[in-house]
A and B are shown apart, each in its own frame.
Chain A
Amino acid sequence: MEATAIPGGDRGLPARSPLARLPDRALKYGLTALAALILALIVYFFIRLVGQARPAFAKEGVFGFAFGNDWNVSAEHFGALPLLVGTLVTSALALLIGVPVAVAAAVYATELCPLRLRAPLTVLVELLAAVPSVVYGLWGIFFLAPRLQGAEQWIADRLSFIPFIGGGLVTIPNYFITGLILAIMILPIVSSISREVMSTVPADHKEAALGLGATRWEMIRIAVLPYCRSGIVGGAMLGLGRAIGETIAVTILIGDAPKLGSHLFAQGYSLAAVIANEFGEAQGLHRSALFAAGLVLFVLTLLVNGVARLLVVRAARQRHAEPAREPSPGAPIAGAAAGA
């Protein structure tokens, strides 16, 4: 691969005229510039976004903006707490509902399902990722939400003793239904990352567990899940990043009410939804406040995704380090027997 590795030899580098080497140089520096351009672009965007958001931050203060509970366009009060809470509540719900289902689907596909079913099952779950956000919104608001309203009201009535969850009147667009749709939307990514990590569990570990007399489920609990923990958490965090940034489906389903919903089945707002919904008509300070909401969203997803990448990368590194730690040259089954 290294053209320059030759000079140690007797004949040295075949001489090439400077003109002939020109395209090489051009390509190398051109491509390097392209890569640098991406970095520059991100930094530039960030600076411009901060610049546009500054008037809103100047008026409300950074904390006043992020934690003020008053989003009133006509009075020019911009406290983004209702938006932040909406984003966090719906994303948390998405994780709560979506991650167990996604991980279970991954466990089923990698450990339990008949080999013939594995590929079709994987494709079907990934197809969920191909459905556009706006179609989830359409389906959610016209199909799912009206059909679930009765059940939601029943749950809200039963749970009326728990503050913030039950008790109130269920509206068709609400936090819960938004979280449910978000759970469906993050299913494919969480499931595919979990599946990827699970397929790297060494056969030794699983066979050792089975050899010691573990049942299938005990094997999964003892050998598979602990090995995959950081990978699964990373996948869940990537899903969280998706859920936080999800815009159109949330705009359609959350109800776009600029106040803190009093309970789980009430209407609310989210950071992404406020931008999609209000940006078209926004002027002056209002527009700046929306840029500020975008900035908060940007920073939030950066943090979540940064942690997620770290976890996924660490899971991958652990996986690569594995063979180095156990250099046993024997067949996997022999290794498992020795371990037992």
Chain B
Amino acid sequence: MSSAGSSSDLLARFDVSPSRRRKDRIARTGVLAATVLALVPLVLIVYYLLRRGLGSWSTTFFTTDPTGNTFFGGSSIGGIKSAILGTIEIVAIASAISVPIGIGVAVWLVEYGKGSWFANTVRFFVDVLTGVPSIVFGLFVYIVLIVGTGSTYAGYKGSIALALLMLPVVIRSAEVILLLVPGALRESALALGAPRWRVIFSIVLPTALPGMVTGVLLAVARAAGETAPLLFTAASTHLTTFNPGQFMNSLPVQIYDDVISATPAVEHRAWGAALTLVTMILLLNLIARLISRRSRLA
């Protein structure tokens, strides 16, 4: 491609009319400018997160619960301990639900379903799930687990909403990786007399493991940043709890609450919490990329 590029430059230098050359230069500059423009928001967001967020980071910020005392401001608004722990708990339970189911469905799609009409239907509906707005998942869980059972908000209900959100991401990423496992591997195991389930558990899944871990981490990163499905499933509270049956705080919901009840001190906490959340998500993304780079199937 680079050789083609230089030959076109050569042409441009010798026998391309000035107007075409000018148009080429303008278009290329425009494309470059748009690309730079695309990167501007990222730079600005990162810069502002660091500038505003780092100032509120401190040991007490991470080790105290937020207080509801938001209207008086000052130093009494507390930190984000319950939000961090809540996010970790909710996302961990969501992963525990969605990862086994998601990988199971992906294994079925690749090993059993293949091109059957039923498999194609499942694939289509998984794609449909990908496009469902996250707040609609919140509504689903609300209807089934809160209206349906006559009970109230709880941490695990938020987890289920997030699990629904993660499911299509896990399924599609695991399916892509499973398809990359060479058929010859399966065939040799089958030829040696291994039953199908042994082939899946001892050959296919271990081979695909690193790639699937990458997909799962990306799904976790996506779920960790979601606010909308948690608003009326896990709700918000300021207290730390380890009981998934109770109201549970989370970083996105804490940030949202702080943004809409804006007083300067609370806004300060929101920036600190946002920086924490983005750092956690970027770390997950980084680990996912490192794993996928180290173990490339195919």
Contact = CB atoms under 8 A, between A and B. Distances in A.
Interface string A112-155: 11010000010111011011111111110111100000000000
B34 A101 contact: yes
A297 B131 CA distance: 11
A331 interface: no
Given A39-B122, A216-B28, A133 B38 contact: no
A16 interface: yes
Interface stretch (A66-74, A161-169, A242-250, A321-329): A242-250
A168 B153 CA distance: 42
B259 interface: yes
B115 interface: no
Contact of B227 (A49, A127, A132, A302): A132
Given A133-B227, A134-B227, A214 B140 contact: no
Given A108-B32, A135-B278, A272 B104 contact: no
A138 B38 contact: no
B225 interface: yes
Interface residues of B, number: 96
Contacts, number: 264
Interface stretch (A18-26, A55-63, A77-85, A260-268): A18-26
B28 A52 contact: no
A24 B195 contact: yes
A191 B118 CA distance: 32
A276 B8 contact: no
Nearest to B281: A130
Contact of A302 (B21, B112, B131, B271): B131
Given A45-B143, A191-B38, 7 more contacts: A52-B143, A105-B38, A128-B41, A132-B281, A135-B255, A210-B11, A301-B136
Given A115-B2, A133-B226, A142-B267, A248 B252 contact: yes
Contact of A216 (B8, B119, B289): B8
Nearest to B51: A143
Given A20-B195, A101-B34, A1 B226 contact: no
Contact of A247 (B134, B224, B277): B134
Given A135-B277, A142-B267, A213 B259 contact: no
Given A31-B105, A216-B8, A218-B20, A305 B225 contact: no
A314 interface: no
B255 A187 contact: no
Interface string A287-303: 00001001001100110
Interface string B8-48: 11011001100011011001101110110111011011001
B7 interface: yes
Contacts of B133: 244-247, 272, 297-298, 301
B147 interface: yes
Contacts of A36: 122
Nearest to B127: A309
A305 B130 contact: yes
B196 interface: yes
Main secondary structure of the interface of B (DSSP, over half): helix
B278 A133 contact: no
Interface of A: 1, 3, 14, 16, 20-21, 23-24, 27-28, 30-32, 34-39, 42, 45, 48-49, 52, 100-102, 104-105, 107-109, 112-113, 115, 121, 123-125, 127-128, 130-139, 141-144, 184, 187, 191, 203, 206-207, 210, 213-221, 238, 241, 244-248, 252, 272, 275-276, 279-280, 291, 294, 297-298, 301-302, 304-306, 308-309
B32 A112 contact: yes
B209 interface: no
A275 to B, nearest CB: 5
Given A115-B2, A139-B48, A217-B28, A276 B112 contact: no
B196 A3 contact: yes
A225 B8 CA distance: 18
Interface in B207-257: 221, 224-228, 231-232, 252, 255-256
3 nearest A-B residue pairs (beta carbon): A245-B133, A132-B225, A305-B131
Given A297-B136, A305-B130, A213 B11 contact: yes
A56 B57 CA distance: 47
B285 interface: yes
Nearest to B187: A1
Contact of A279 (B9, B27, B30, B231): B231
A63 to B, nearest CB: 22
23 contacts: A1-B183, A27-B197, A30-B104, A35-B118, A35-B119, A107-B31, A108-B31, A130-B225, A132-B227, A132-B281, A134-B259, A138-B255, A142-B259, A207-B4, A213-B11, A216-B9, A216-B28, A252-B256, A275-B135, A276-B135, A276-B231, A298-B132, A305-B128
B228 A210 contact: no
B139 A31 contact: no
A241 B270 CA distance: 28
A130 B231 contact: no
A205 to B, nearest CB: 12
A272 B205 CA distance: 39
Given A27-B200, A133-B225, A215-B24, A35 B108 contact: yes
Contacts of B142: 279
B294 to A, nearest CB: 16
Nearest to A14: B193
A36 B101 CA distance: 12
B31 A104 contact: yes
B274 interface: yes
Nearest to B289: A123
Nearest to A37: B101
Given A23-B197, A108-B31, A213-B11, A245 B136 contact: yes
A104 B127 CA distance: 27
B180 interface: no
